[in-house]
Structure 1
Amino acid sequence: MTVKAPAIHDPAHWDSVSANYAAEADRMTGRYAQAAWELAALPRDARVLDVATGAGALLLAALRDGADAVGIDFSPGMVAIAQARAAEISSGERALVMDGQRLDFPPDSFDAAFSIFGVFMFPDPAAGFAEMARVLRPGGLAVVAVWENPGGAGPAQLFAQTAQRLFPDQPVPLPVSRLFNSPALLDAAFAEAGLRPTTVHRVSYAWPAPPIDWFREHAKLAYGWSPVWQLLDDAQRTVFAEAAAALAADLPPEGITSTALIGMARKPE
């Protein structure tokens, strides 16, 4: 019997939300990608890899600054969007369908490897960290962004609160099997991959509160990757979205503040 992969590990799920992700979620995650790029302070002509590029936020930041950058993602839908966006800045094949746990690049290929809210969600995140380390040249920089809140960021936090209210007797399962949501845990993951941790930056932004209807219309986008969502039928999902919308009515005007940890490490010379 074939066991269906959890949504968070299923390219088809990300394909199904790719257009909405690019239009909605990327506006938030893109701010952290830009911060990570600026914090890295790489030379203009650096050779850069973006692992789990999604709609290409980090990839685009790198290309705009003159880097020789390529992004990979296991979702063809996301890759198509990232490639179309990249083509407006730079020629060539800039986004590729590829598994970040088995990168199709030789060792020592890149000056820097980034993963902005990607590698920590892999089925085997240790393999993702190890692959980033493998393809870095000696002295190269690894940059990984994770959410400090284990339930995610922005609207995902509100949907997690909804799950806790609707199912008070049930533990809300986390979307990932291994957490990296502290500087110590992130540094340990780098060290496990043979990298030398240097700095972990805390970066916070407010996710502006959208209209209440947003929570009804975009529940799958914001929470479809969660094990909770996968256990609900269509009628239950409608009830869930309505409950989240009711919670959203009490959001402050500035919205939901979310903090990312942006960790950096070097490959030994």
Structure 2
Amino acid sequence: MSAKAPAIHDPAHWDSVSTNYAAEADRMTRRYAQAAWELAALPSGARVLDVATGAGALLVAALRDGADAVGIDFSPGMVEIAQARAAEIRPGVRALVMDGQRLDFPAASFDAAFSIFGVFMFPDPAAGFAEMARVLRPGGLAVVAVWENAGGAGPAQLFAQAAQRLFPDQPVPLPMARLFNAPGLLDAAFMEAGLQPVAVHPVSYTWPAPPVDWFREHAKLAYGWSPVWQLLDDAQRTAFAEEAAALAADLPAEGITSTALVGMARKPG
């Protein structure tokens, strides 16, 4: 019997949190997507691909700015939300269910390819970078955003702390096959895919401190993607959420500052 896929690689997990993700996490992550879009400074009408679009934050930003954009994600639940949001801006099919490691698009068919907190979580992130490079036209721009903190951002950071407190003798496993949370690591991934690095921009925002009860009610949303979550039974998950809630009670009033690294590279030509 094959081992169960980690939640982070399981479309069903993201389907199960898609509604809450769109209502909760997307309120913050779309700020980083907007920043990445503005940093790219693409001309109006550019043909744009959003890889692992999630609830469509980058896709929506691109469409609002006049881009000819399409997003893909392996989660049908996320794609449904992204398509509904895109349809409010421009008619047509703008979000598709697709594996970012095997894009169903011809080579050299996009002016820019983005992945905002997506490709770095793939089972084979190198394949994701390579596919972004393949579908770019010569001179096209690749934009990848990752979290500087390997444990995630915002409330996820508190759940990582809770795991360390509950399991002090155990290393907290990371689901990512490979880390890209430093400029040199991002640049190396671009170069492996045949792209020429341009810049890595740090982008920081403060996530407002959620109420303590939020951590009890949204533990799966904030940390269900982690291998730690899959190792716990229901009682342990309740205790885990309570531990995170206890940490949340001590959060500063301004909230949790989280930094993303927005890496940019061009396809030679």
Q: How many residues align?
A: 269
Structure 1, residues 167-204: CA drift from partner, whole Å, max 9, x if none? 00000011212000000000000000000000000000
Query: What is aligned with 2:83?
Result: 83
Counterparts of residues 45-194 of structure 1 (less than 5 Å): 45-194=45-194
Matched, 1:12 2:20: no
Amino acid corresponding to residue 256 of structure 2 in structure 1: I
Separation of aligned partners in 2, 1:132 and 1:166: 39
What secondary structure sits across from 2:146 in the alignment?
Answer: strand
Query: What is aligned with 1:225?
Result: 225
Cα pair 2:219 2:241 within 8 Å, conserved: yes
Separation of aligned partners in 1, 2:175 and 2:204: 21
TM-score w.r.t. the length of structure 2 is 1.00
- Structure 1 vs Structure 2 CA RMSD: 0.4
Point out where structure 2 has 5 or more consecutive residues left out of the alignment. none
Amino acid corresponding to residue 99 of structure 2 in structure 1: D
Structure 1, residues 5-44: CA drift from partner, whole Å, max 9, x if none? 0000000000000000000000111000000000000001
Separation of aligned partners in 2, 1:174 and 1:152: 10
Separation of aligned partners in 2, 1:175 and 1:214: 24
Separation of aligned partners in 1, 2:3 and 2:163: 25
Amino acid corresponding to residue 30 of structure 2 in structure 1: G
Cα pair 1:151 1:175 within 8 Å, conserved: no
Separation of aligned partners in 2, 1:177 and 1:109: 28
Cα pair 2:7 2:13 within 8 Å, conserved: yes
Separation of aligned partners in 1, 2:108 and 2:148: 30
Query: What is aligned with 1:204?
Result: 204
Cα pair 1:17 1:221 within 8 Å, conserved: yes
What secondary structure sits across from 2:169 in the alignment?
Answer: coil
Separation of aligned partners in 2, 1:155 and 1:232: 19
Cα pair 2:108 2:135 within 8 Å, conserved: yes
Separation of aligned partners in 2, 1:177 and 1:111: 28
Question: How far is the alpha carbon of 1:4 from its aligned partner?
Answer: 1.0
Query: What is aligned with 1:26?
Result: 26
Cα pair 2:204 2:257 within 8 Å, conserved: yes
Structure 1, residues 74-132: CA drift from partner, whole Å, max 9, x if none? 00000000000000000100000000000000000000000000000000000000000
TM-score w.r.t. the length of structure 1 is 1.00
Separation of aligned partners in 1, 2:177 and 2:228: 15
Question: How far is the alpha carbon of 1:2 from its aligned partner?
Answer: 2.7
Separation of aligned partners in 2, 1:70 and 1:3: 33
Separation of aligned partners in 1, 2:254 and 2:131: 38
Question: How far is the alpha carbon of 1:152 from its aligned partner?
Answer: 0.6
Cα pair 1:32 1:203 within 8 Å, conserved: yes
Matched, 1:260 2:260: yes
Question: How far is the alpha carbon of 1:133 from its aligned partner?
Answer: 0.1
* Runs of 4+ that moved beyond 2 A: none
Query: What is aligned with 2:251?
Result: 251
Cα pair 2:125 2:177 within 8 Å, conserved: no
Separation of aligned partners in 1, 2:222 and 2:29: 12
Separation of aligned partners in 2, 1:129 and 1:243: 37
Separation of aligned partners in 2, 1:137 and 1:193: 14
Separation of aligned partners in 2, 1:175 and 1:120: 10
